Every structure is written in C-alpha cells, then in structure tokens.
Amino acid sequence: MLNDKTTKTLLSVMTKFKLVALGGTFDIVHKGHLELLRNGFLISSKVIIGLTSDEFAQKKGKNPSNDYVTRFHSLEDAIKKNFPNSNYEISKLDNDFGPAVLENDVEALVVSEETAFKGDELNRLRKARNSSPVEIIVVPMALAKDGMRISTTRIKKSEIDSDGNIL
C-alpha cells in the first residue's frame, strides 16, 4: 500500500507540465467532464479551467440549465470531491480561449475529441501574439453504457445519467 509521500512522489514523476488549460460549459458535470479534468490534473501541477460565461454560452447556441454561479459551484464541488488537493483556478470564459491565449506559462491545452480542432486555432492566436505554441492533449470521449458518448444534452433528455447509465 502506498503512503501519502509515495503517492505525491509518483504524481510528481508523472507530471509533465507546470500549467495546462482546459475549458467547457460544465452545465451538468458528468463522467466525460471528470475524465477531462482527471487528464489535466494527471499531467500538470496546475490546471486553469475555463468556465463558459452565460453570455458566451448563449452566443455559442447553448442553453445551460444552470447559471454561471451555479455551474461554478458545481464544478468546484466536483473537483474537491474527485480530485482533492489539486491545484487549479477556475476562470470565466467570454471567448473560446480565455487565459490560455494570454498566459505565456500555459504549456498545453486539454481538449476532448469533439473540440480538438480548437488547438490549432489557439496556436495560431498564440503565434500572432509571439507566444510559443501549446501541446494539444486530446482526451477520448467518455462513452455511456450504450456505446454512445456521454453528453449534457443526453442527460437533459433523460437518455442517460451523469455516469453514462441508460435510463
């Protein structure tokens, strides 16, 4: 059995980056979101999490069930429960990239397969700002028990629960 010191040592060996970024609307935190977060925390000593503002969500054609403040607290609760002692910052996103474009220290962007194309856009913007490119880490989509991807839309339609179980 590993003690806390051994666990921390193993995690520091596995940590590849000092700072990575990821983002989303996180309307109903589900298994897919947790997988994205897990990958971010696994590879970096700190994660900047962009949380879509209500205005930006509407602009993107999304209709969140929960407002920004509720989503913020839900996301924070999920992180504290599933990834205790993780070093993170939640930042309001009013555009596609937020601090990932501005932070020169950001070394990687963690994305789902669905949003992988955003990595190329981000690196074009960073190049225009004379910032070094970031590595793009693509996390496979979490699948529900029926083999289809887990999504907030499917949860809202009562097809699946947040763990991907069929309802």
Laid out side by side, the sheet with 20-24 consists of 88-93, 47-52, 20-24, 108-112, 135-139
pTM, two decimals, is 0.88
| Fold topology of 17-156 | Rossmann fold (3.40.50)
Q: How far apart are CA 49 and CA 26, in angstroms?
A: 10
The domain ranges of the chain are 17-156
Ramachandran angles phi, psi of 141, nearest 5°: -65, 140
66 with 51: CB under 8 angstroms?
no
Residue 120 has a pLDDT of 93
| pLDDT tens, the chain, 167 aa long | 434 443 343 344 467 999 999 999 999 999 999 999 999 999 999 999 999 999 999 999 999 999 999 999 999 999 999 999 999 999 999 999 887 777 789 999 999 999 999 999 999 999 999 999 999 999 999 999 999 999 999 999 999 999 999 99
